[in-house]
Structure 1
Amino acid sequence: MPAATRTIVMTGATGGIGLEAARDLLRRSPETHLVVLAREASAARVLPGLREISPHVSALPVDLARVAAVDTASARVEDLLEAGELPPLRGIVYNAGVHLRDALHTSADGYELTFAVNVLATHLLLRRLHLHLRAPARIVVTVSDAHFGDLRHTGGIMPAPLWRDPEALFRPGAYPRSHRVRSGGRRAYTTSKLGAVHLVHEWARRLPGGIDILAYNPSLVTGTGLAREMGGAAPFAMKWLVPVLGVTPLVDAPPAAGRKLADVVLGRTDAPTGSYIHRTRAMSSSAESYDADRERALWEWLEQQG
């Protein structure tokens, strides 16, 4: 096994496409030291298997729903990098995400939980760690084509995003009927994924040359467990209908989606910074996602948090 010459920090690496991507990264890039940011119990479950692939794996505990926990984990990564205990930082992968039954769950810091994990934690992690990235480097944020909110991209299961001022979006009860599955939980999810695309666009404008940031959309993936929290007909659709589509090119199993995520992280998928990668190629995100004023406003609000 060659010595590790670069570090990649990753969230959402303990299950689903994230775990498959982590395995693939370690197999295809043995010079990579992978730092998994996850809850301790989740990390303990997957670390032995990852270390069977490569010894260059470590884990740091984090609760992405807590600002202080994200700050502590980021500071620990900084300390290890500055002490030379980790090789130079070349990549950050934010793959973690939540999808809840309503838009009323509150984080420890008072934020709506979907936005706390899917948007705020992404920004806080990048805010601390981007200064340590050494070019060439890539940041990859997993998003979703659910942010389109139309029949073509969601099959009618997901509602359209409902963007508002960030101060409102990050508070529980931001939507009419926030207590409902579709108008609350699912709308918070689609709106948060729109926010993540906005965030990628704004970071792309601010990062120095040689440090790229990309949004990766895995599209439909079977067996991830995400539908358990969606409620309504979503678990039925994911259990019975989506697997039928799995024999077509429209749907991936986690190993295939994870491999495609690894391709983006490793630079095998070519795309300019700020791009939206749909599975294997760059394409346009939703028309609504291109709004420089909205992106700047979101950035400025996030900068005031934490």
Structure 2
Amino acid sequence: MQSTIVMTGATRGIGRVAAELILRESPDVHLLVVARGSTGARLSAELGAGGRAVPYVAADLGSLESVRSAAAEIRDRLDRGDLPPLRGFVGNAGMQYTNALTEGPDGFESTFAINVLANHLFVRLIEDRFAAPARIVITVSDTHFGDFKHNLGMVPGPVWQSPEVLARTGAFPKPDTTAAGRTAYSTSKLAAIYLVHEYARRLPTGIDVVAYNPGFVPGTGLARNADPVSRFAMRFILPAMALTPFATGRGAAGRYLADVVLGRTKAPTGSYLDRDRVARSSEESYDPQRERELWDAAERLTAAYAV
């Protein structure tokens, strides 16, 4: 059955591995990649080097106007029949900054804008184009647990506040510090899980949504905005941790993601997938009141772009 899967975050890391596996193992899947600027054309050419056509749409996920434009282009391609029915969306792109003061073009703090609002707007704008059965996968992080067991103390735990506060710069103490930037990251991943729970309640039957946690994956591009010492450690020292139970190798994490996207990993809608199995996320991540409040706030914050 021919189908289209839209994927962000396929340029590098686990997303790149997953994209290559999806194309290699699923000949009926048309993988449409979303990437910034000229990166999309290059990624399309590289992924299509084996003879598969890999369409792309350019988008800067830090700009909600750019997300709106990309979603509109995808809708048009589907409506014209240039793409087969839409059966998947993979929100794998993510960003972590060295402070909580980085502001995007829409006036939102960039971690929250990319990791939360961009996914929400994308899902909402293409929601009515999904053909059941379909699956939405949002990549999250076990940093949302906020304990030593899950991140070895490298990332502070989430600090939940009103979504309107989280969406703006300076939401955390000492916002110019790396600790604040990492707190913004773990909090954004908690928010993503909240939205997955709320999507599960609201999406039509046949459109499943799951949160995928790859675990700690050293050597990805997540720390590309970090200081030189942190970048060096992530690239050359921490990858050795993939040989221990505390981390996941990029290849394994990409394989797990591909299996989740293709439905090989069975999971009911609203699930939290810890690598290759359904598990419970943190106790804090189950809060229907916060989930509804975040949904309402995300709808308000993206309303100007949802037309």
When the two structures are superposed, what TM-score results if normalisation uses the length of structure 2?
0.94
Q: Does 2:265 correspond to 1:272?
A: no
Partner of 1:77: 74
Cα deviation 1:24-76 (Å, max 9, x = unaligned): 00011111111111112222332222112352310111011111111110011
Partner of 1:121: 118
RMSD: 1.5
Q: Does 2:197 correspond to 1:188?
A: no
Partner of 1:154: 151
Q: Does 2:163 correspond to 1:166?
A: yes
Decide whether the 8 Å contact of 1:181 with 1:232 is kept in 2. Answer: no
Partner of 1:205: 201
Q: For 1:21, what is the secondary structure of its paired residue?
A: helix
Partner of 1:36: 33
Runs of 4 or more above 6 Å deviation? none
Task: After TM superposition, give the deviation of residue 302 of structure 1 in Å.
Answer: 0.9
Task: After TM superposition, give the deviation of residue 241 of structure 1 in Å.
Answer: 4.7
Cα separation, 2, equivalents of 1:151 and 1:232? 24
Cα separation, 2, equivalents of 1:69 and 1:235? 28
Partner of 2:100: 103
Cα separation, 2, equivalents of 1:232 and 1:61? 29
Decide whether the 8 Å contact of 2:218 with 2:248 is kept in 1. Answer: yes
Task: After TM superposition, give the deviation of residue 253 of structure 1 in Å.
Answer: 2.5
Cα separation, 2, equivalents of 1:104 and 1:181? 10
Partner of 1:245: 241
Identity %: 52
Q: Does 2:220 correspond to 1:224?
A: yes
Which residue identity lines up with residue 272 of structure 2 in the other structure? Answer: Y
Q: Does 2:250 correspond to 1:254?
A: yes
Cα deviation 1:51-105 (Å, max 9, x = unaligned): 1235231011101111111111001101111111110000000000100000000
Decide whether the 8 Å contact of 1:74 with 1:125 is kept in 2. Answer: yes
Q: Does 2:10 correspond to 1:13?
A: yes
When the two structures are superposed, what TM-score results if normalisation uses the length of structure 1?
0.95
1:88 is matched with which residue: 85, 92, 98? 85
Instruction: Provide the aligned length of Structure 1 versus Structure 2.
Output: 302
Task: After TM superposition, give the deviation of residue 247 of structure 1 in Å.
Answer: 2.0
**Which is further off, 28-37 or 47-56?**
47-56
> Gaps spanning 5+ residues in structure 2: where?
303-307
Q: For 1:36, what is the secondary structure of its paired residue?
A: strand
Decide whether the 8 Å contact of 2:45 with 2:54 is kept in 1. Answer: no
Which residue identity lines up with residue 160 of structure 1 in the other structure? Answer: G
1:130 is matched with which residue: 107, 114, 127? 127
Which residue identity lines up with residue 296 of structure 1 in the other structure? Answer: R
Which residue identity lines up with residue 131 of structure 1 in the other structure? Answer: D
Decide whether the 8 Å contact of 1:90 with 1:137 is kept in 2. Answer: yes
